[in-house]
Every structure is written in structure tokens, then in C-alpha cells.
Amino acid sequence: MRATTAIASAAVIAAAFLAGCNDKAPDEVVQTVDWYKANAPERAATLARCANNPGELATTPNCVNANRAEQAQVWGSRKSGTTQVKPLTPEQIRTP
């Protein structure tokens, strides 16, 4: 009975000790995609930091939001990646 109590006590103390451990970096302010669109230097700095350590940072909110803002800026400047083309008229089509 005494051994069971000692093991249970040790387990509770270990759980309490480990619950206090947190490898997470101090909380940073999470910026929105619109904020990153409006703040290009900060977006570039965040993307560089994320690219330098993708294993830990790639799925963090700021890395995701900065990446989305970058993609929106690139594709938005290309009008969604498409070009409007006028249809050919019969006069423009050459026959062999």
C-alpha cells in the first residue's frame, strides 16, 4: 500500500512539474493577412524568419498569414493569373 502511494505521489509530482514546461516561445502578436499586405517590410522579415526554420515555424499563424499575404500580392497583381484574350474573328483566321 505504501509503495502504491509513493508511486502515485511521484506520478502527480512529475505531471505537475511537466505541466509547467512549455517550449513555446513567448506569445507574439498574431497579425492578419490584411496587415501583412499593408506592411511589406514586416511581411518580408516574417517570411525570411519562417523560411530559416520551417520545421518549427511553417505552421505558426504569423508564417501562414504572411505567406497568404505574399501570395495574394503576387497573384492579385496578375489579375488572378489569367489574361483576357479576345476571340479571333473570321478575318483574323488564316486558311492554309
What is the enclosing helix (H) or strand (E) of 71?
helix 61-77
pTM score of the predicted model: 0.54
Q: Domain map of the chain by residue range? A: 31-49+58-78
Q: pLDDT (tens digit, 9 = 90+) per residue, 23-68?
A: 555 678 999 999 999 999 999 999 999 999 999 999 999 999 999 9
In this structure, of 39-43, 50-54, 87-91, 92-96, the range with the lowest mean pLDDT score is 92-96
Q: Is the pLDDT of residue 10 over 70?
A: no
* Mean pLDDT, rounded, of the chain: 77
Please give the Cα distance from 69 to 63 (Å, whole number): 10
Is the model's pLDDT at 22 over the cut of 50? no
Quick one: average pLDDT of 14-20? 56
Contact 61, 28 (CB under 8 A): no
